[in-house]
């Protein structure tokens, strides 16, 4: 499978988990340990329940959102890592942008580093 197929399948699965509001499914797509970088804060994730709790507490901000369309630009790739710039659109409007470092793990491809980017 090539890098484009890997990222397309990964973010299709990620979008489905988000739209289902399934924090366990989303958390399963994150490696442990992982690093989340937001403006002014870095969060070291050492336990999958941290990711579950974060997403469970954030569902309200997505009230009324019934689409999650990723526009993926692959920045770099190696045999064991992919860096992808993903612009998320909801209802046809670009709303969020992140750089995901996906790592090949024993559980498949997972987010190892998530970085918030400006739109």
- Per-residue pLDDT, 91: 87
CATH number at residue 89: 3.10.450.50
DSSP assignment of the chain equals --HHHHHHHHHHHHHHHHHTT-HHHHHTTEEEEEEEEETTEEEEE-SHHHHHHHHHHHGGGGTT----EEEEEEEEE-SSEEEEEEEEEETTEEEEEEEEEEEEETTEEEEEEEEE---
Q: How far is CA 100 from CA 21, 60, 64, 67, 73, in A?
A: 20, 23, 25, 20, 10
- Per-residue pLDDT, 76: 98
Structure confidence by residue, pLDDT tens digits, 60-115: 988 889 999 999 999 999 999 999 999 999 989 999 999 999 999 998 999 999 99
Nearest to 54 by CA among 67, 38, 69: 38
Domain that holds residue 72: 3-116
- Per-residue pLDDT, 1: 84
Q: How many domains is the chain built from?
A: 1
Structure confidence by residue, pLDDT tens digits, 12-71: 999 999 999 999 999 999 999 999 999 999 999 999 999 999 999 999 988 889 999 999
């Amino acid at each position: 499978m090539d890098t484009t197929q890997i990222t397309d399948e990964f973010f299709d699965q990620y979008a489905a988990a988000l739209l289902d509001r399934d924090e366990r499914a989303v958390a399963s797509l994150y490696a442990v340990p992982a690093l989340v970088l937001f403006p002014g804060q870095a969060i070291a994730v050492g336990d999958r329940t941290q990711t579950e709790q974060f997403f469970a507490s954030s569902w309200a901000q997505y009230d009324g959102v019934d689409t999650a369309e990723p526009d993926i630009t692959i920045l770099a790739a190696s045999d064991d890592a992919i860096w992808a710039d993903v612009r998320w659109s909801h209802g046809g409007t670009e709303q969020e942008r992140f750089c995901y470092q996906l790592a090949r793990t024993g559980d498949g491809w997972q987010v190892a580093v998530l970085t918030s980017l400006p739109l």
